[in-house]
Chains A and B, each alone.
Chain A
Amino acid sequence: MSDVKAIILTHNTLEAKGLWQLLCESFDIDAHIGNENFFAMFNSSAEPDIFFIDQVTLVANLGFFLPRKAKTVILVNSNIVVDDMKTLDVTVGDSQMISDLNAILEADKKEDRSSSMLSAREIEVLRLIAMGYINKEIANELNISINTVLTHRKNLTSKLGIKSVSGLSFYAMMNGIV
Protein backbone atom coordinates (compact mmCIF):
# COMPACT_ATOMS: atom_id res chain seq x y z
CA MET A 1 0.00 0.00 0.00
CA SER A 2 1.26 3.45 -0.80
CA ASP A 3 1.81 5.80 2.10
CA VAL A 4 -0.55 8.43 0.72
CA LYS A 5 -3.41 8.91 3.14
CA ALA A 6 -6.73 10.30 2.00
CA ILE A 7 -9.84 11.34 3.93
CA ILE A 8 -13.27 11.48 2.32
CA LEU A 9 -15.80 13.83 3.92
CA THR A 10 -19.12 14.00 2.12
CA HIS A 11 -22.76 13.78 3.10
CA ASN A 12 -23.42 11.47 0.16
CA THR A 13 -22.80 7.92 1.37
CA LEU A 14 -22.74 6.33 -2.07
CA GLU A 15 -20.31 8.95 -3.29
CA ALA A 16 -18.09 8.33 -0.27
CA LYS A 17 -18.16 4.54 -0.60
CA GLY A 18 -17.60 4.65 -4.35
CA LEU A 19 -14.65 7.02 -4.10
CA TRP A 20 -13.21 5.03 -1.22
CA GLN A 21 -13.29 1.87 -3.29
CA LEU A 22 -11.71 3.56 -6.31
CA LEU A 23 -8.92 5.03 -4.21
CA CYS A 24 -8.20 1.75 -2.47
CA GLU A 25 -8.50 -0.58 -5.42
CA SER A 26 -7.28 1.42 -8.37
CA PHE A 27 -4.76 3.67 -6.68
CA ASP A 28 -3.73 1.65 -3.65
CA ILE A 29 -4.26 4.64 -1.40
CA ASP A 30 -4.88 4.42 2.32
CA ALA A 31 -8.31 6.07 2.16
CA HIS A 32 -10.75 6.55 5.02
CA ILE A 33 -14.27 7.86 5.16
CA GLY A 34 -14.56 10.50 7.88
CA ASN A 35 -17.74 11.02 9.88
CA GLU A 36 -19.18 14.03 11.69
CA ASN A 37 -16.66 13.56 14.49
CA PHE A 38 -13.75 14.10 12.15
CA PHE A 39 -13.08 17.73 13.07
CA ALA A 40 -13.60 17.16 16.80
CA MET A 41 -11.14 14.25 16.75
CA PHE A 42 -8.70 15.81 14.32
CA ASN A 43 -5.13 15.37 15.33
CA SER A 44 -2.56 17.24 13.33
CA SER A 45 0.05 14.52 13.83
CA ALA A 46 -2.01 12.24 11.59
CA GLU A 47 -2.64 14.90 8.96
CA PRO A 48 -3.89 13.26 5.74
CA ASP A 49 -2.13 13.98 2.45
CA ILE A 50 -5.34 14.72 0.61
CA PHE A 51 -8.95 15.59 1.48
CA PHE A 52 -11.94 14.79 -0.73
CA ILE A 53 -14.89 16.86 0.49
CA ASP A 54 -18.30 17.98 -0.70
CA GLN A 55 -19.26 21.64 -0.96
CA VAL A 56 -21.36 21.56 2.23
CA THR A 57 -18.36 20.39 4.22
CA LEU A 58 -16.20 23.04 2.59
CA VAL A 59 -18.61 25.87 3.43
CA ALA A 60 -19.09 24.67 7.00
CA ASN A 61 -15.33 24.40 7.62
CA LEU A 62 -13.77 27.11 5.49
CA GLY A 63 -11.33 28.01 8.25
CA PHE A 64 -10.00 24.46 8.21
CA PHE A 65 -9.79 23.94 4.45
CA LEU A 66 -8.55 27.29 3.17
CA PRO A 67 -5.08 26.85 4.64
CA ARG A 68 -5.15 23.31 3.22
CA LYS A 69 -6.27 24.41 -0.22
CA ALA A 70 -3.38 22.68 -1.94
CA LYS A 71 -4.45 19.28 -0.75
CA THR A 72 -8.21 19.62 -0.83
CA VAL A 73 -10.36 18.33 -3.67
CA ILE A 74 -14.01 19.41 -3.88
CA LEU A 75 -16.49 16.83 -5.14
CA VAL A 76 -18.83 18.55 -7.59
CA ASN A 77 -21.78 17.46 -9.69
CA SER A 78 -20.74 19.04 -12.94
CA ASN A 79 -17.77 20.55 -14.56
CA ILE A 80 -17.80 23.70 -12.41
CA VAL A 81 -14.90 25.58 -10.95
CA VAL A 82 -14.82 26.44 -7.24
CA ASP A 83 -12.63 29.50 -6.85
CA ASP A 84 -9.17 28.21 -7.54
CA MET A 85 -9.58 24.92 -5.74
CA LYS A 86 -9.16 21.47 -7.19
CA THR A 87 -12.42 19.78 -8.12
CA LEU A 88 -13.50 16.30 -9.08
CA ASP A 89 -16.65 15.88 -11.17
CA VAL A 90 -18.42 12.89 -9.65
CA THR A 91 -20.92 12.53 -12.48
CA VAL A 92 -18.46 11.32 -15.12
CA GLY A 93 -18.08 7.72 -16.28
CA ASP A 94 -15.65 5.11 -15.15
CA SER A 95 -12.62 5.74 -17.33
CA GLN A 96 -12.91 9.53 -17.17
CA MET A 97 -13.12 9.33 -13.38
CA ILE A 98 -9.98 7.19 -13.20
CA SER A 99 -8.06 9.55 -15.45
CA ASP A 100 -9.26 12.65 -13.52
CA LEU A 101 -8.26 11.08 -10.22
CA ASN A 102 -4.95 10.03 -11.67
CA ALA A 103 -4.25 13.62 -12.78
CA ILE A 104 -5.08 14.93 -9.29
CA LEU A 105 -2.94 12.36 -7.52
CA GLU A 106 0.00 12.69 -9.89
CA ALA A 107 0.06 16.44 -9.38
CA ASP A 108 -0.15 15.87 -5.67
CA LYS A 109 2.74 13.45 -5.43
CA LYS A 110 5.36 14.77 -3.12
CA GLU A 111 8.55 15.91 -4.73
CA ASP A 112 10.11 13.07 -2.92
CA ARG A 113 11.99 11.41 -5.70
CA SER A 114 15.32 11.65 -4.00
CA SER A 115 17.84 9.32 -5.48
CA SER A 116 18.04 5.84 -4.10
CA MET A 117 21.82 6.09 -4.23
CA LEU A 118 23.42 5.93 -0.83
CA SER A 119 25.40 8.92 0.40
CA ALA A 120 29.00 8.48 1.54
CA ARG A 121 27.89 8.83 5.16
CA GLU A 122 25.15 6.23 4.74
CA ILE A 123 27.67 3.81 3.26
CA GLU A 124 29.90 4.41 6.25
CA VAL A 125 27.02 3.71 8.66
CA LEU A 126 26.07 0.63 6.67
CA ARG A 127 29.64 -0.66 6.88
CA LEU A 128 29.63 -0.31 10.66
CA ILE A 129 26.20 -1.97 10.98
CA ALA A 130 27.51 -4.88 8.93
CA MET A 131 30.52 -5.11 11.23
CA GLY A 132 28.16 -5.59 14.15
CA TYR A 133 28.38 -2.10 15.70
CA ILE A 134 25.38 -0.94 17.72
CA ASN A 135 23.97 2.59 17.37
CA LYS A 136 25.96 4.02 20.25
CA GLU A 137 29.23 2.63 18.90
CA ILE A 138 28.46 3.96 15.42
CA ALA A 139 27.79 7.40 16.91
CA ASN A 140 31.11 7.32 18.75
CA GLU A 141 33.08 6.04 15.79
CA LEU A 142 31.72 8.71 13.42
CA ASN A 143 31.46 11.49 16.00
CA ILE A 144 27.79 12.05 15.37
CA SER A 145 24.74 11.93 17.65
CA ILE A 146 22.63 8.82 18.12
CA ASN A 147 19.73 10.63 16.50
CA THR A 148 21.79 11.19 13.38
CA VAL A 149 22.67 7.50 13.35
CA LEU A 150 18.97 6.67 13.60
CA THR A 151 18.20 9.01 10.69
CA HIS A 152 20.87 7.35 8.56
CA ARG A 153 19.47 3.93 9.43
CA LYS A 154 15.98 5.04 8.51
CA ASN A 155 17.22 6.34 5.18
CA LEU A 156 19.15 3.13 4.53
CA THR A 157 16.03 1.08 5.15
CA SER A 158 13.86 3.23 2.97
CA LYS A 159 16.38 3.43 0.12
CA LEU A 160 17.28 -0.26 0.12
CA GLY A 161 13.99 -1.75 1.33
CA ILE A 162 15.95 -3.82 3.87
CA LYS A 163 14.96 -3.71 7.54
CA SER A 164 16.94 -6.35 9.41
CA VAL A 165 20.54 -6.02 10.51
CA SER A 166 21.45 -9.30 8.84
CA GLY A 167 19.75 -8.22 5.63
CA LEU A 168 21.79 -5.00 5.66
CA SER A 169 24.95 -6.97 6.37
CA PHE A 170 24.39 -9.27 3.42
CA TYR A 171 23.67 -6.27 1.21
CA ALA A 172 26.96 -4.73 2.33
CA MET A 173 28.82 -7.95 1.50
CA MET A 174 27.16 -8.23 -1.90
CA ASN A 175 28.26 -4.72 -2.75
CA GLY A 176 31.79 -4.90 -1.45
CA ILE A 177 31.14 -2.42 1.37
CA VAL A 178 32.64 -4.81 3.91
Chain B
Amino acid sequence: MALINRDSKLSEVILHDPSTITVLDRFGIALGVGDATVSDSCAEHNIDVNFFTAILNTFINENYFPQEALAKFSATEIVDYLSKTNDYYERNVLPNIERHFAFLIGKAPSHNNNLVLMRQFFEEVKTELSQRISHDREHWFPQVCSKAQETQPNTALEVNIEDIPNDAIEDKIDDLINMLIVHLKGDYDHNLGYAVVVAVLSLKKDIKQNNRIRNRILRPISQALTVGNE
Protein backbone atom coordinates (compact mmCIF):
# COMPACT_ATOMS: atom_id res chain seq x y z
CA MET B 1 0.00 0.00 0.00
CA ALA B 2 1.20 3.51 -0.75
CA LEU B 3 2.00 5.62 2.28
CA ILE B 4 -0.98 6.85 4.23
CA ASN B 5 -1.64 10.57 3.93
CA ARG B 6 -4.26 12.99 5.25
CA ASP B 7 -6.67 12.11 2.43
CA SER B 8 -6.49 8.34 2.85
CA LYS B 9 -9.74 6.71 3.87
CA LEU B 10 -9.57 5.06 7.28
CA SER B 11 -11.67 2.16 6.05
CA GLU B 12 -9.11 1.44 3.34
CA VAL B 13 -6.26 1.63 5.83
CA ILE B 14 -7.97 -0.97 8.02
CA LEU B 15 -8.90 -3.22 5.11
CA HIS B 16 -5.33 -3.16 3.93
CA ASP B 17 -3.91 -4.05 7.33
CA PRO B 18 -6.46 -5.02 9.99
CA SER B 19 -3.82 -4.88 12.72
CA THR B 20 -4.10 -1.08 12.48
CA ILE B 21 -7.44 -1.37 14.33
CA THR B 22 -5.54 -1.62 17.58
CA VAL B 23 -3.36 1.39 16.70
CA LEU B 24 -6.42 3.49 15.85
CA ASP B 25 -7.92 2.41 19.14
CA ARG B 26 -4.95 3.97 20.96
CA PHE B 27 -5.92 7.28 19.38
CA GLY B 28 -9.53 6.82 20.48
CA ILE B 29 -10.83 5.82 17.04
CA ALA B 30 -13.21 2.86 17.13
CA LEU B 31 -14.62 0.67 14.36
CA GLY B 32 -17.49 2.06 12.33
CA VAL B 33 -15.23 4.60 10.65
CA GLY B 34 -17.69 5.34 7.84
CA ASP B 35 -16.05 7.09 4.93
CA ALA B 36 -13.96 9.43 7.09
CA THR B 37 -10.51 10.34 5.84
CA VAL B 38 -7.47 10.56 8.07
CA SER B 39 -7.78 14.32 8.38
CA ASP B 40 -11.55 14.18 9.15
CA SER B 41 -10.94 11.73 11.91
CA CYS B 42 -7.97 13.61 13.34
CA ALA B 43 -10.01 16.82 13.46
CA GLU B 44 -12.81 15.03 15.23
CA HIS B 45 -10.52 13.44 17.83
CA ASN B 46 -8.17 16.37 18.19
CA ILE B 47 -5.12 14.48 16.93
CA ASP B 48 -2.09 15.97 15.16
CA VAL B 49 -2.45 14.67 11.58
CA ASN B 50 1.29 14.53 10.96
CA PHE B 51 1.96 12.55 14.09
CA PHE B 52 -0.92 10.21 13.34
CA THR B 53 0.18 9.46 9.77
CA ALA B 54 3.81 9.03 10.86
CA ILE B 55 2.80 6.47 13.48
CA LEU B 56 0.47 4.57 11.13
CA ASN B 57 3.02 4.45 8.33
CA THR B 58 5.70 3.29 10.71
CA PHE B 59 3.38 0.60 11.95
CA ILE B 60 2.33 -0.67 8.53
CA ASN B 61 5.62 -0.52 6.62
CA GLU B 62 8.56 -2.37 7.97
CA ASN B 63 10.88 -0.36 5.74
CA TYR B 64 9.44 3.04 6.52
CA PHE B 65 11.01 4.81 9.42
CA PRO B 66 11.00 8.60 9.20
CA GLN B 67 13.47 8.96 12.01
CA GLU B 68 14.17 12.64 11.60
CA ALA B 69 10.52 13.56 11.14
CA LEU B 70 9.48 11.50 14.16
CA ALA B 71 12.19 13.04 16.31
CA LYS B 72 10.60 16.45 15.73
CA PHE B 73 7.36 15.53 17.48
CA SER B 74 7.01 16.58 21.07
CA ALA B 75 8.24 14.15 23.67
CA THR B 76 4.90 14.30 25.49
CA GLU B 77 3.05 13.30 22.34
CA ILE B 78 5.28 10.26 21.88
CA VAL B 79 5.07 9.36 25.57
CA ASP B 80 1.30 9.57 25.41
CA TYR B 81 1.19 7.19 22.46
CA LEU B 82 3.62 4.73 24.03
CA SER B 83 1.69 4.82 27.33
CA LYS B 84 -1.45 3.87 25.49
CA THR B 85 0.50 1.13 23.75
CA ASN B 86 1.63 -0.21 27.12
CA ASP B 87 -1.94 -0.08 28.43
CA TYR B 88 -3.05 -2.01 25.39
CA TYR B 89 -0.48 -4.76 26.06
CA GLU B 90 -1.44 -4.98 29.72
CA ARG B 91 -5.20 -4.88 29.32
CA ASN B 92 -5.69 -6.75 26.08
CA VAL B 93 -2.79 -8.55 24.52
CA LEU B 94 -1.22 -10.31 27.50
CA PRO B 95 -4.53 -11.48 29.04
CA ASN B 96 -5.61 -12.58 25.58
CA ILE B 97 -2.57 -14.81 25.08
CA GLU B 98 -3.03 -16.19 28.60
CA ARG B 99 -6.62 -17.02 27.85
CA HIS B 100 -5.66 -18.83 24.67
CA PHE B 101 -2.98 -20.79 26.52
CA ALA B 102 -5.49 -21.72 29.23
CA PHE B 103 -7.93 -23.08 26.64
CA LEU B 104 -5.16 -24.95 24.84
CA ILE B 105 -3.79 -26.55 27.99
CA GLY B 106 -7.28 -27.21 29.39
CA LYS B 107 -8.15 -29.32 26.37
CA ALA B 108 -4.81 -31.09 25.94
CA PRO B 109 -4.08 -34.57 27.27
CA SER B 110 -2.49 -34.33 30.70
CA HIS B 111 0.75 -36.03 29.59
CA ASN B 112 1.65 -33.21 27.23
CA ASN B 113 3.90 -31.12 29.46
CA ASN B 114 5.28 -29.34 26.37
CA LEU B 115 2.41 -26.89 26.44
CA VAL B 116 2.80 -26.20 30.14
CA LEU B 117 6.48 -25.40 29.61
CA MET B 118 5.64 -23.10 26.71
CA ARG B 119 3.19 -21.28 28.94
CA GLN B 120 5.85 -20.94 31.61
CA PHE B 121 8.17 -19.43 29.05
CA PHE B 122 5.41 -17.04 28.02
CA GLU B 123 4.89 -16.12 31.70
CA GLU B 124 8.56 -15.20 31.84
CA VAL B 125 8.21 -12.95 28.79
CA LYS B 126 5.10 -11.45 30.32
CA THR B 127 6.84 -10.69 33.61
CA GLU B 128 9.67 -9.00 31.80
CA LEU B 129 7.31 -6.93 29.68
CA SER B 130 5.23 -5.98 32.73
CA GLN B 131 8.34 -4.86 34.57
CA ARG B 132 9.32 -2.71 31.64
CA ILE B 133 5.82 -1.22 31.54
CA SER B 134 5.88 -0.34 35.26
CA HIS B 135 9.31 1.18 34.91
CA ASP B 136 8.05 3.28 31.97
CA ARG B 137 4.99 4.37 33.89
CA GLU B 138 6.64 5.16 37.20
CA HIS B 139 10.05 6.42 36.15
CA TRP B 140 10.99 6.90 32.55
CA PHE B 141 7.87 8.52 31.06
CA PRO B 142 7.29 11.03 33.92
CA GLN B 143 10.97 11.93 33.79
CA VAL B 144 10.88 12.58 30.04
CA CYS B 145 7.70 14.67 30.35
CA SER B 146 9.04 16.82 33.16
CA LYS B 147 12.32 17.41 31.35
CA ALA B 148 10.37 18.31 28.23
CA GLN B 149 8.36 20.89 30.17
CA GLU B 150 11.48 22.48 31.60
CA THR B 151 12.95 22.83 28.13
CA GLN B 152 12.00 25.90 26.11
CA PRO B 153 9.61 24.94 23.35
CA ASN B 154 11.22 24.85 19.91
CA THR B 155 14.65 24.40 21.39
CA ALA B 156 16.66 22.46 18.86
CA LEU B 157 17.79 19.29 20.59
CA GLU B 158 21.03 17.57 19.76
CA VAL B 159 19.40 14.26 19.08
CA ASN B 160 21.97 11.56 18.72
CA ILE B 161 20.53 8.65 16.79
CA GLU B 162 22.58 5.50 16.96
CA ASP B 163 21.93 1.89 16.26
CA ILE B 164 20.52 0.17 19.26
CA PRO B 165 21.24 -3.37 20.33
CA ASN B 166 18.70 -6.15 20.05
CA ASP B 167 15.80 -5.91 22.39
CA ALA B 168 15.72 -8.76 24.91
CA ILE B 169 11.92 -8.91 24.97
CA GLU B 170 11.72 -9.05 21.19
CA ASP B 171 14.28 -11.88 21.18
CA LYS B 172 12.30 -13.88 23.69
CA ILE B 173 9.04 -13.44 21.79
CA ASP B 174 10.84 -14.65 18.66
CA ASP B 175 12.03 -17.67 20.63
CA LEU B 176 8.52 -18.39 21.87
CA ILE B 177 7.18 -18.25 18.32
CA ASN B 178 9.94 -20.53 17.09
CA MET B 179 9.26 -22.99 19.86
CA LEU B 180 5.56 -23.05 19.00
CA ILE B 181 6.07 -23.31 15.27
CA VAL B 182 9.15 -25.52 15.06
CA HIS B 183 9.39 -27.50 18.27
CA LEU B 184 5.81 -28.16 19.45
CA LYS B 185 5.20 -31.85 20.05
CA GLY B 186 2.50 -34.20 21.27
CA ASP B 187 -1.28 -34.07 21.13
CA TYR B 188 -3.15 -30.82 21.33
CA ASP B 189 -6.21 -29.16 19.84
CA HIS B 190 -4.92 -27.69 16.58
CA ASN B 191 -7.44 -24.91 16.44
CA LEU B 192 -6.55 -23.71 19.93
CA GLY B 193 -2.86 -24.03 19.06
CA TYR B 194 -3.28 -21.70 16.07
CA ALA B 195 -5.05 -19.20 18.30
CA VAL B 196 -2.04 -19.05 20.61
CA VAL B 197 0.38 -18.66 17.69
CA VAL B 198 -1.67 -15.91 16.06
CA ALA B 199 -2.00 -14.03 19.35
CA VAL B 200 1.74 -14.20 20.01
CA LEU B 201 2.51 -13.19 16.41
CA SER B 202 0.35 -10.10 16.73
CA LEU B 203 2.15 -9.15 19.96
CA LYS B 204 5.45 -9.64 18.18
CA LYS B 205 4.50 -7.33 15.34
CA ASP B 206 3.24 -4.66 17.69
CA ILE B 207 6.27 -4.79 19.97
CA LYS B 208 8.65 -4.74 17.06
CA GLN B 209 7.07 -1.69 15.44
CA ASN B 210 6.71 0.19 18.70
CA ASN B 211 10.21 -0.65 19.85
CA ARG B 212 11.45 1.30 16.88
CA ILE B 213 9.56 4.35 18.14
CA ARG B 214 10.64 3.67 21.69
CA ASN B 215 14.32 2.91 21.15
CA ARG B 216 15.12 4.99 18.12
CA ILE B 217 12.95 8.05 18.80
CA LEU B 218 12.03 8.47 22.44
CA ARG B 219 15.30 7.19 23.88
CA PRO B 220 17.53 9.61 21.92
CA ILE B 221 15.11 12.47 22.67
CA SER B 222 15.17 11.65 26.35
CA GLN B 223 18.97 11.52 26.34
CA ALA B 224 19.13 14.86 24.52
CA LEU B 225 16.73 16.40 27.05
CA THR B 226 18.82 15.22 29.96
CA VAL B 227 22.00 16.59 28.43
CA GLY B 228 20.26 19.87 27.47
CA ASN B 229 19.11 20.44 31.05
CA GLU B 230 22.39 19.82 32.70
Contacts and interface: CB of A to CB of B under 8 A. Distances in A.
Interface of A: 160-164, 166-167, 170-171, 173-175
A170 B114 CA distance: 9
A42 to B, nearest CB: 23
Interface string B163-192: 000001001101110110011010000000
Contacts of A164: 168, 171-172, 175
A170 B179 CA distance: 9
Given A160-B178, A160-B182, A167 B172 contact: yes
B168 A167 contact: no
A174 B175 contact: no
A170 B117 contact: yes
A170 B125 CA distance: 12
> Chain B: interface secondary structure?
helix
Given A170-B117, A170-B120, A163 B174 contact: yes
Contacts of B102: none
Nearest to A24: B63
A171 B179 contact: yes
A167 B114 CA distance: 13
Contacts of A170: 117-118, 120-121, 179
B124 interface: yes
B178 A162 contact: yes
Contacts of B114: 174
A178 to B, nearest CB: 11
22 contacts: A160-B182, A160-B183, A161-B174, A161-B175, A161-B178, A161-B182, A162-B175, A162-B178, A163-B171, A164-B168, A166-B121, A166-B124, A166-B172, A166-B175, A167-B121, A167-B175, A170-B118, A170-B120, A171-B183, A174-B113, A174-B183, A174-B185
Contacts of A160: 178, 182-183
A115 to B, nearest CB: 14
Contacts of B174: 161, 163
A173 B185 CA distance: 13
A173 B117 contact: yes
A150 B108 CA distance: 38
A161 B179 CA distance: 8
Contacts of B183: 160, 171, 174-175
A166 B171 CA distance: 11
